[in-house]
Amino acid sequence: MRPITIIFALFFAAGPADAQNWKEYAYPTDFFSVAFPADPKVETTTYQTADGRSVEARVYSVSQDGGVFRMTVADLPEPAAQESAVLDHAVRTLSQGSEIKVDIPHRISRVYGRQLSIAAPGGSYSSVAVFYHKQRLYQIEGTVLPGAINATSDAIRFQQSLVFTDDSTNR
C-alpha cells in the first residue's frame, strides 16, 4: 500500500470510533437535548442580566481533549424582556475582550437566535449560538483551547448538536 493510502485508511478508521464517544443528553425540564463527548457536569449558578440582576442558571459542561463544551440555560422571569436585548447582552458578555469573526442569524427548528465564531486573544476559539426561548437564555459554546487544533471539529459538532425538544417558537 502507498503511504498516502495508509494515512487515509487510518484517518477514516479512527473517525467512527471518535463519533461513538459522543452521546445525546436530554434535559426535558429545560426543553433541549445536546451531544457531549462524555457525561456532563451540571451546576446551578447565576447569570447577570443586562440590567445587573442575577438570575438562576444551569451550566452543563465537559472539558476534554483540548475542548470545553458548555451549555448555559438562564431563567429570565421578566416577561417583557426583548429578545434582541437579551441576545445582544449575551453576545457582548461572551465576546468581551475577544474578536467576533462571524455573527449571523441562526435557527433551530422554529427558534431563532445568533451564531458566532469568537477568537480570544490567548489563542482559544469558540463556536457559539445564543437563543431566547420560553423566557430563557440558551447559550451553547464549544471552545478550542490554544494548541488543540484537533478539537475544532468537536467545538462545531457540539454547537450544532443543540435541539429544542418542545414544539413552540420564539417568533
- Could you read off the pLDDT of 9-41 as tens digits, one per residue? 333 344 444 555 899 999 999 999 999 999 999
Query: Per-residue pLDDT tens for 87-118?
Result: 999 999 999 999 999 999 999 988 999 999 99
Gap between the Cα atoms of 146 and 95, Å rounded: 17
**CATH number of residue 149's parent domain:** 3.40.1000.10
Q: Is residue 87 part of a domain?
A: yes
Number of domains within the chain: 1
Q: Which of 93, 148, 159 is nearest to 123 (CA)?
A: 148
Report yes or no: 50 and 85 within 8 Å, Cβ to Cβ. Answer: yes
DSSP-assigned beta bridge partners for residue 100: 118
What pairing do the DSSP bridges indicate for beta strands 136-144 and 111-119? unpaired
Query: What 3-state class would DSSP assign to 171?
Result: coil
Q: Considering the domain boundaries, does residue 121 fall inside one? A: yes
Residue 80: inside a domain, yes or no? yes
Parent domain of 71: 23-164
- Say how many Å lie between the first and final Cα of the chain, rounded: 56
Q: What is the pLDDT of residue 19?
A: 52
What sign for the dihedral angle of Cα 12, 13, 18, 22?
Answer: positive
Partners of 137 in beta bridges: 74, 132
